[in-house]
């Protein structure tokens, strides 16, 4: 007999890996900058973004389960293709920059522990290794690997246990928002929103639900069907658990860097900088845990970034797609994964500032997200698309509120460039 913990673990799947991949090295760097620059002031965002992120990802999951198609395929069916092509192109660009920045961050993370290992060699090994896993490892095994890799996120929770923390101040800043409305802070808030409620997660979540359904042990399930309460409950547990873990990790990264780097006036630009700066303040063990998190989350996030790009491009253009397919069955799909990964590798050697690439990819995500979210809310609210699982009034309201908030933040950042 399985105990409750085992049953809960088996319930987790696409939602867990989607949420965990959100805390990639670029996200870690963004959260670390928030803590190092503003202390505990932006901790409230970890609490604020949780329900928004969870509701959005649940919409994506329901779209995948109810229609048997990915997000791009659904947009292509119901809306003008030009809008989809534009959003897909911007997503691909943002993801490639993100992959490049993550590969560089992972290499720097290894060098923190093994400084004599070549940066170039590490970038190539991580990039090519991740690509080969996606292409040649069967989907069930690969999904299991991603699921277990998500556990590395708890290294950031453990790191917080090795430092002194003013928990009363932490709690106060978690529940009471504090915004200065300065140009730099608005820019950082847009980056946090862009790296937390991120477009690549929308496409990955939807398509992964389809993959899981295709490989379901119940072959009688039609590709488009009214979802049972059991299916919805399982999906909801998975999605909300994954998003909760993602935001808990954001919370602890901001709290850790706020308690150490901000209090010492130390500024950082990368996740590796944050790990290195922690060493004299929090000890070797906290430093090693932080570095391990950078490497592990990168190994999880890069396949998700490349895979979401491939799903979006392939579905937009009507190509065969899916990680459950063999290479010979979906050359174009795997070609996009290869292209995104290889260009990401190359970005580390052509003189592009990886920090600027990281920051601007996060902000670009924050600008793209409201556009894609519009289609997510419209599709998931349409009974003709969703059957008996269309959005409730509350969920629809939260969806439109998320679009409004992210849209206003994106416009503020764009306007700030001209002021």
What is the DSSP code string of 103-163?
Answer: HHHHHHHHHHH-TTS-HHHHHHHHHHHHHHHHHHS-HHHHHHHHHHHGGGGHHHHHHHTTS
Cβ contacts of 193 within 8 Å, gap of 6 or more:
49, 366, 369, 405, 406, 409
pLDDT over 50 at 221, yes or no:
no
Dihedral sign, CA of 241, 296, 365, 209? negative
SS3 415: helix
The pLDDT-based confidence of 418 (bands split at 50, 70, 90) is: low
pLDDT of residue 90: 85
Give the residue among 116, 27, 5 at the shortest CA–CA distance from 294: 27
pLDDT over 90 at 275, yes or no:
no
pLDDT over 50 at 382, yes or no:
yes
String of b and e for 75-109 (b: at least 16 CB within 10 Å)? bbeeeeeeebeebbebbbbbbbbbbbbbbbbbbbb
Where is mean pLDDT largest: 11-15, 92-96, 283-287?
Answer: 92-96
**Structural contact between residues 290 and 278, judged by C-beta atoms closer than 8 angstroms:** yes
100-109, 284-293, 350-359, 399-408 — which is least confidently predicted?
A: 350-359
Distance CA 27, CA 97 (A): 13
Distance CA 100, CA 142 (A): 22
pLDDT of residue 379: 94
Alpha-carbon distance values, 144 to 149, 170, 254 (Å): 9, 35, 29
The pLDDT-based confidence of 288 (bands split at 50, 70, 90) is: confident
pLDDT of residue 121: 95
Eight-class DSSP state of 176: S
The pLDDT-based confidence of 306 (bands split at 50, 70, 90) is: very high
The pLDDT-based confidence of 226 (bands split at 50, 70, 90) is: low
pLDDT of residue 419: 64
The pLDDT-based confidence of 314 (bands split at 50, 70, 90) is: very high
> What does pTM read for this prediction?
0.88
Retrieve residue 58's tokens: 């649940």
Retrieve residue 86's tokens: 């534009």
CATH number of 4-416: 1.10.4160.10
Mean pLDDT of 121-140: 87
Mean pLDDT of 399-412: 87
**Structural contact between residues 57 and 201, judged by C-beta atoms closer than 8 angstroms:** yes
Mean pLDDT of 180-196: 81
**pLDDT tens digits, residue range 57-74?**
999 999 998 888 889 999
Cβ contacts of 419 within 8 Å, gap of 6 or more:
183
pLDDT of residue 184: 80
Where is mean pLDDT largest: 15-29, 171-185, 217-231, 246-260?
Answer: 246-260
Distance CA 206, CA 235 (A): 11
pLDDT over 60 at 343, yes or no:
yes
pLDDT over 60 at 215, yes or no:
no
Instruction: Give the angle subtended at the CA of 213 by the CAs of 212 and 218, to the nearest 5°.
Output: 120
The pLDDT-based confidence of 377 (bands split at 50, 70, 90) is: very high
Percent of the chain residues topping a pLDDT of 70: 91
pLDDT of residue 333: 94
**Structural contact between residues 80 and 88, judged by C-beta atoms closer than 8 angstroms:** no
**Structural contact between residues 348 and 123, judged by C-beta atoms closer than 8 angstroms:** yes
pLDDT of residue 417: 63
Question: For residues 38 and 180, which has the higher predicted lDDT (pLDDT)?
Answer: 38
Distance CA 26, CA 361 (A): 9
Mean pLDDT of 375-394: 91
Retrieve residue 169's tokens: 């101040």
């Amino acid at each position: 007999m399985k105990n409750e913990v085992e049953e809960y673990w088996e319930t987790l799947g696409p939602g867990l890996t989607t949420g965990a991949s959100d805390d990639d090295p670029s996200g870690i760097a963004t959260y670390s900058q928030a803590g190092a620059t503003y202390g505990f002031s932006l901790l409230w965002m970890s609490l604020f973004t949780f329900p928004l992120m969870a509701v959005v990802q649940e919409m994506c999951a329901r779209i995948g389960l109810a229609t048997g198609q990915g997000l791009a395929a659904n947009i292509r069916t119901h809306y003008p293709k030009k809008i989809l092509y534009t959003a897909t192109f911007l997503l691909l660009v943002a993801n490639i920059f993100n992959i490049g920045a993550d590969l560089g961050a992972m290499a720097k993370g290894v060098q923190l522990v093994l400084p004599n290992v070549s940066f170039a060699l590490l970038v190539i090994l991580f990039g090519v290794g991740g690509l080969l896993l996606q292409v040649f490892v069967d989907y069930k095994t690969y999904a299991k690997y991603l699921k277990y890799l998500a556990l590395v996120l708890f290294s950031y929770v453990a790191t917080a246990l090795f430092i002194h923390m003013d928990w009363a101040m932490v709690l106060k800043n978690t529940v009471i928002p504090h915004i200065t409305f300065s140009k730099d802070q608005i820019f950082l808030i847009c980056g946090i929103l862009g790296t937390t409620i991120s477009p690549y997660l929308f496409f990955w979540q939807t398509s992964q639900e389809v993959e899981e359904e295709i490989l379901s042990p119940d072959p009688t399930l039609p590709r488009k069907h009214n979802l049972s309460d059991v299916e919805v409950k399982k999906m909801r547990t998975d999605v909300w658990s994954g998003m909760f873990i993602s935001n808990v990790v954001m919370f602890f990264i901001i709290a850790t860097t706020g308690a150490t780097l901000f209090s010492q006036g130390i500024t950082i630009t990368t996740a590796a900088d944050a790990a290195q700066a922690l060493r004299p303040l929090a000890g070797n063990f906290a430093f090693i845990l932080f570095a391990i998190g950078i490497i592990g989350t990168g190994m999880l996030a890069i396949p998700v970034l490349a895979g979401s790009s491939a799903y979006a491009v392939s579905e937009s253009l009507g190509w065969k797609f899916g990680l459950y397919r063999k290479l010979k069955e979906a050359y174009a799909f795997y070609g996009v994964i290869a292209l995104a990964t290889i260009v990401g590798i190359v970005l580390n050697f052509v003189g592009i500032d990886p920090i600027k690439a990281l920051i601007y990819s996060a902000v670009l995500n924050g600008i793209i997200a409201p556009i894609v979210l519009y289609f997510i809310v419209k599709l998931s609210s349409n009974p003709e698309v969703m059957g008996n699982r269309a959005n409730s009034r509350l969920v629809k309201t939260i969806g439109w509120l998320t679009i409004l908030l992210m849209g206003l933040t994106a416009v503020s950042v764009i306007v700030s460039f001209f002021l």
